[in-house]
Amino acid sequence: MTTSSAPGKVYLFGEHAVVYGEPAVPCAIERRARVTVERREDERLRVRANDLTLDGFTVTWGGSGTDPRPDVDVPTPLVEAAMGYIDGAIEQALDAAGEDGIGFDITVESDIPLGAGLGSSAAVVVAGIDAAARELGVELDAGTIADRAYRVEYDVQDGQASRADTFCSAMGGAVRVQGDDCQRIEDVPTLPFVIGYDGNTGDTGKLVAGVRELKEAYGFAADTVESIGDIVRSGEIALDDGDVEEIGRLMNFNHGLLSALGVSARSLDTMVWAAREADALGAKLTGSGGGGCIVALDRTEQTHTALEYTPGCEDAFRAELDTEGVRRER
Ligand code: PMV
């Protein structure tokens, strides 16, 4: 039996624009998904999942001659999506080990809300590939795991995925992603993240498609995407200078442009404004938007407290930058 964990992330800057070749800076946070894998006698996959968003479910599928559907009555879209990611992670581990037709019992435990912009699926895929590969006797380096995890996200999300989430989760820390070029950013200043979560999920596929339509219909929407790229480039300089106040200002600007592209939501805007009024250095939505999480830079305890009392904010929590990526737990 092997267990691996991998962190979730927030986008400091650059989501959506990264899909069109602009750079983005995601940062790993100290909230993890843990995946435990044990080889089975047959070819089936049995998954038990327990996390913040799902009340817990068990599904079994696969194996030759068996019904490929899960043995739950009506798999919800979230369960269906989770199955796709886990199936993909196992396939990547089998491929890395040069094996085929091996089944596993898999347990997923996650502190990261699903579909809320914190990279839960990437963390599960990264940890799953590492745990399953080690269960098969193969040690993969973090770069290879990031690459294989990206292939899984790309397939499950019908080609609409950047390398940002998977690279950040595998490597940890703050990273810069532009197309296929992914690097860690060293010596970042302390970033006092506080996260507000509205309890909702955004539909990444629909939101990405919405931005694409706007970008094709309006030149100024295309300019907006490019401007987000400019914010990221300025943000890299601010990170290098350790200028946390400037980082906050750029986060505010980034949120405004994401709003203009139609990917914010009333609940996200409400949390962003509550954070700003509580003296946050900056606040923006994180991830695809539509619902889910915002990230703010909290120089005092005030932003955290204000978010806790903001109507529509289901959970508010601090999250330190996690410098460690995929980790072997057992
Ligand atoms: O909501 P998340 O955490 O899956 O982030 C999506 C970020 C996008 O830039 C909108 C898409 C991507 O794959 O980069």
Label residue 102 by pLDDT band (50, 70, 90): very high
**Which of 49-53, 110-114, 211-215 is modeled with the greatest confidence?**
211-215
**3-state SS class at 133:** helix
Mean pLDDT of the chain: 92
In this structure, what token pair is assigned to residue 168?
A: 């950040």
Shortest-distance Cα residue to atom 5 of ligand 1: 287
**3-state SS class at 315:** strand
CA 246 vs CA 87, 194, 231, 301, 324: distances in Å: 42, 17, 11, 20, 26
Atom of ligand 1 nearest to the CA of 202: 1
DSSP-assigned letters across all residues of 260-290: HTT---HHHHHHHHHHHHTT-SEEEE-TT-S
Are 198 and 312 in contact by the 8 Å Cβ rule? The answer is yes
CA 59 vs CA 35, 81, 117, 141: distances in Å: 15, 12, 25, 30
The per-residue pLDDT for range 42-78, each reduced to its tens digit, is 988 888 887 645 555 667 766 544 455 555 555 567 6
The pTM of the full predicted model, rounded to 2 decimals, is: 0.93
Are 117 and 10 in contact by the 8 Å Cβ rule? The answer is yes
Query: What is the structure's pLDDT at 57?
Result: 64
Shortest-distance Cα residue to atom 14 of ligand 1: 162
In the chain the domains, ranked by start, together with CATH numbers, are 2-185 (3.30.230.10), 193-318 (3.30.70.890)
Shortest-distance Cα residue to atom 13 of ligand 1: 161
Q: What is the dihedral of CA 35, 41, 47, 50, to 10 degrees?
A: -60
The per-residue pLDDT for range 281-294, each reduced to its tens digit, is 999 999 999 999 99
Q: Is 56 annotated as a binding residue?
A: no
φ/ψ region of 176 (left if φ > 0, alpha if ψ in -120 to 50, else beta) reads: beta
Query: What is the structure's pLDDT at 65?
Result: 44
Rounded CA separation 327/330 (Å) = 9
Q: What is the mean pLDDT of residues 218-242?
A: 98
Q: What is the mean pLDDT of residues 74-90?
A: 80
Q: What is the mean pLDDT of residues 3-26?
A: 97
Q: What is the mean pLDDT of residues 134-148?
A: 98
Token pair 């699926």 is found at: 121
Return the higher-pLDDT residue of 159 and 36: 36
- Residues designated catalytic: 165
Q: What is the ipTM of this complex?
A: 0.97
Query: What is the structure's pLDDT at 75?
Result: 57
Q: How many angstroms does the Cα of residue 328 sit away from the middle of ligand 1?
A: 26
Query: What is the structure's pLDDT at 2?
Result: 98
The packing angle between helices 164-171 and 142-156, to 10°, is 150
Q: How many angstroms does the Cα of residue 288 sit away from the middle of ligand 1?
A: 5
In this structure, what token pair is assigned to residue 4?
A: 């691996």
Q: What is the mean pLDDT of residues 12-33?
A: 97
- The one-letter amino acid code at 251 reads M
| Least reliable range by pLDDT among 68-82, 248-262, 264-278 | 68-82
Q: What is the mean pLDDT of residues 107-134?
A: 94
Rounded CA separation 32/120 (Å) = 8
Token pair 């624009």 is found at: 17
Are 308 and 315 in contact by the 8 Å Cβ rule? The answer is no
CA 292 vs CA 110, 202, 258, 283: distances in Å: 16, 6, 14, 14
Instruction: Indicate if ligand 1 lies below 6 Å from the C-beta of 51.
Output: no
Give the rounded percent of residues in the chain with a pLDDT score beyond 90.
Answer: 81
Are 6 and 123 in contact by the 8 Å Cβ rule? The answer is yes
